[in-house]
Structure 1
Amino acid sequence: MNISVTDLVTEEGKWNNTALETLFTDQAVKHFHNIKCPNPLDGDDRCIWRWTPKQCFDLKNAYTKLAESFWAPKQSIWRIIWHLTVPQRTRLFLWMAQQQKLMTNVERCRRNL
């Protein structure tokens, strides 16, 4: 299925609720209503990467952006975790726990799983 954002907007420039409701959950549709509809005069849909001057995706830049938000190498906890003499899967588990990325029962409930 190849759908663009303009397929989800009516001719009057409002969100097409019928199309939205067939593709997304009710909660997602509510979020759409908080977003301004695109203007047809803005041109065709296109993907941009806002963190580079030319707005073109670059893997190096993407890695840098991910590393900025998730990695704080100055924290001593990382040194402790990665220098433990335990199996790699244990270090990875501890790292994920430190990042709060484990699917705990609380997180599963929050995601309605």
Structure 2
Amino acid sequence: MLLPQAPVVNHLGFSNFIMTGSHWDYVRLASFFTNDIVSHIVGILPPSIVGGHDFVAWKGTNSGVFSLASTYELLLSDSWNDVDSKWRHILSVPMPQRIQVFFWLPIRERLMTNVEHWRRGLTNDPSCPCCGCYRESVLHIL
């Protein structure tokens, strides 16, 4: 199965994905990234658009410049998948299995939030029905 190709843009920073009012531009993010990546990005507060120069940097090297060798080293290290390490930590704590499953749901983003309903096309509104927050995500629920 072939995945759709994202547009190639050389000079694109986070400020290009922020709407006025310091909210993420979901439509623009979805045009460049998969739904999993978009859900991770919007779970982070957007950076201030007046905070200074925005640039792209690769976390695999100290210089911020991408290299295939640094990617290979990152994939070999255990630190690149923080979700699995969180899950391993939860499993190491002695607790009933039903509580471990309760923790597994938000870590794997398996709770049916309004954002997930919106992503699947089941609703037109990703906001929280209780407080009106513009995005009812897993982090918002917890």
| Structure with greater helix percent | 1
> TM (normalized to structure 1)?
0.40
TM-score (normalised: structure 2): 0.34
Which of 1 and 2 has greater Rg? 1
